[in-house]
Amino acid sequence: MNPYAQIPSVSRLLEQAELSKLIDTFGHQWVIQAVRQRLDLARQALQAGKAIPAQTQLIADISQALQQQALPNLRPVFNLTGTVLHTNLGRAPLPEAAIEAMIEAARHPCALEYDLASGGRGDRDDLVESLLCEFTGAEAATVVNNNAAAVFLTLNSLASTKGKRQVIVSRGELVEIGGAFRVPDIMSRSGAKLVEVGTTNRTHLRDFSGAINPKTAMLMKVHTSNYAIEGFTHAVAENELAELAHQHDLPFVVDLGSGTLTNLERWGLPHEPTPRESIEAGADLVTFSGDKLLGGPQAGLVVGSKELVSRIKKNPLKRALRVGKITLAALEAVLRLYRNPDNLAQNLAALQQLARPQGEILLAAHRLLPALQQALSNLPLTVEVVTLNSQIGSGSLPVERLASAGLAIRSDSKKSGGLNRLESALRQLDKPIIGRIDKGALLLDLRCLAEADEAVFLQQLNGLTSRLHQLNTTETPC
């Protein structure tokens, strides 16, 4: 008998009730494609001298393949990396108030650019401008899609005209942000001409003063949020730069990068400059992000002089860089939380994670330790509770560390690659667990794992056990 005749045909499988249900869920085309792929694998197995899976197993494999294909590419994960504002994992988690506002904005028509008082056309910036001015002390504000866009639009609006294009910046502030994206490149693309002054570690007021000429468009200060220079250093204070700029009838612009609207020291965190501090020091414009220390959605915020903000808003590029109703809904909801500073740490998800006490995280580690030990009990691994140091991330306070705790997994085997395979298995769970390997241990920093999410985390361990046992049948994973 021809052994290939044992493999069912596509039409025969499609007659099965289980596949009819799959067609209703996933569609006829995708089910047929999955069936053909699985039958091809069965033929390959037969050629390799292996047994052909039973029909029930084929159907189960087809169902699993379809379910795997249906998973969204943008999936929630457990951020156990120890970096709270992780750029690759979406930066600040949004508070419930922002999520609810986004859902309402998505579900219904809303007054995005409609003035309910007059019945005429409105300005979408009006939705958040008064709140931004309230918290920063600025005269006006506008919003674009991220802080790089805010800097770009500011430079293009104020420093790209013929004759006056030069922007004076300290050499020590020409930073590179994520993805090899550099401040000088943004300046160049905006049409402004960069003028570097001072040295990498020391810049003085006289350096700025000596570089001013008829072609100068502005003085600019960039907050070095993603690195720190220590030792023999000097930087010019914002109030001194503002005074110098105004003596020459020039605007003074500060790019704060991360940007926070409150004094973080209240929650035991290191001090981070605020837009209000820069405005009070004399800055004409301040740019900063919405999805970092502010704790909101991705956005670039520009606050400051009414006249300069008006010029920025008249730039045709503003329309290309504007944000939509979903972002504005989230941003407004987050900004309103700042009106109640006493409850801010309870209501703002990012601040709650940043301010979480180490003792509370240690308790979580001891709660989760037995389950993880049990899940890995058949493997040459040890798991223990350890103290760790988290970082804020996304260029915020780069040298500061937050006392944290978590679980450290180490291999008892001398074979290499075991922890890498375990780390890979964690990433393949239904809700991936993202940790980090450091100094021979796979570390799971629990700062960002809320107690309410621990039950889901523990459920994942059942899948982890199955996954690791599968690996153990083909190769020694640890």
Q: Is 159 left (phi over 0), alpha (psi -120 to 50) or beta?
A: alpha
pLDDT (0 to 100) of residue 233: 74
Burial 63-99 (b: 16+ CB within 10 A, else e): bebbeeeeeeeeeebbbbbbbbbbeebebbbbbebbe
In the prediction, which pLDDT does 125 show? Answer: 97
> Torsion over CA of 339, 342, 348 and 353, rounded to 10 degrees?
150
| Predicted pLDDT of residue 179 | 53
pLDDT (0 to 100) of residue 218: 95
Q: What is the pLDDT of residue 5?
A: 79
Domains of the chain: 3-70 (no CATH), 78-87+354-474 (3.90.1150.110), 96-347 (3.40.640.10)
Tokens 């500061």 belong to: 400
Q: What is the rounded CA–CA span in Å between residue 426 and residue 422?
A: 6
Q: What is the pLDDT of residue 477?
A: 40
Q: Are 352 and 345 in contact (CB under 8 A)?
A: yes
Q: How many of the other CB atoms lie within 10 Å of CB of 22?
A: 22
User: Which amino acid is residue 209, in one-letter code?
Assistant: S
Q: Are 285 and 251 in contact (CB under 8 A)?
A: yes
In sequence order, the 6+-apart residues with CB closer than 8 A to the CB of 438 are none
pLDDT at residue 226, as a whole number: 55
Tokens of 261: 């609207």
How big is the CA angle at 117 (ends 113 and 121), to the nearest 5 degrees?
30
| Strands 181-182 and 176-177, bridge-based pairing | antiparallel
pLDDT of residue 181: 62
Dihedral pair phi/psi, residue 186, rounded to 5°: -60, -45
Amino acid of residue 463: G
User: What's the Cα-to-Cα distance from 330 to each of 93, 162, 235, 275, rounded to whole Å?
Assistant: 11, 39, 36, 20
Query: Amino acid identity, residue 101?
Result: A
SS (H, E, C) the chain: CCHHHHCCCHHHHHCCHHHHHHHHHHCHHHHHHHHHHHHHHHHHHHHCCCCCCCHHHHHHHHHHHHHHHHCCCCCCCEECCCECCCHHHCCCCCCHHHHHHHHHHHHCCCCCCECCCCCCECCCCHHHHHHHHHHHCCCEEEEECCHHHHHHHHHHHHCCCCCCCEEEEEHHHCCEEHHHEEHHHHHHHHCCEEEEECCCCECCHHHHHHHCCCCEEEEEEECCCCCCCCCCCECCCHHHHHHHHHHCCCCEEEEEECCCCCCHHHHCCCCCCCHHHHHHCCCCEEEEECCCCCCCCCCEEEEECHHHHHHHHCCCHHHHHCCCHHHHHHHHHHHHHCCCHHHHHHHCHHHHHHCCCHHHHHHHHHHHHHHHHHHCCCCCEEEEEEEEEEECECCECCCCCEEEEEEEEEECCCCCCHHHHHHHHHHCCCCCEECEEECCEEEEECCCCCHHHHHHHHHHHHHHHHHHHHHHHHCCCC
* Residue 186 confidence (pLDDT): 81
pLDDT value for 134: 97
Q: What is the pLDDT of residue 174?
A: 78
Per-residue pLDDT 10s for the chain (478 aa) are 677 778 888 998 888 899 989 999 999 999 999 999 999 998 898 888 888 888 889 999 999 899 988 888 899 999 999 999 999 999 999 999 999 999 999 999 999 999 999 999 999 999 999 999 999 999 999 999 999 999 999 999 999 877 788 999 998 877 666 555 677 788 788 888 989 998 878 899 999 999 999 999 999 999 876 556 666 778 899 999 999 999 999 999 999 988 899 999 999 998 899 999 999 999 999 999 999 999 999 999 999 999 999 999 999 999 999 999 999 999 999 999 999 999 999 999 999 999 999 999 999 999 999 999 999 888 888 999 999 999 998 766 666 789 999 999 998 876 546 788 899 999 988 899 999 999 899 999 999 999 999 999 999 888 786 666 655 544 444 4
Angle, CA of 87, 75 and 291, to the nearest 5°: 30
Would you say the pTM of this structure is higher than 0.75?
Answer: yes
What pLDDT does residue 177 have?
Answer: 60
Q: What is the pLDDT of residue 1?
A: 63
The pLDDT score that the predictor gives to residue 476 is: 43
Cβ atoms 257, 87 nearer than 8 A = no
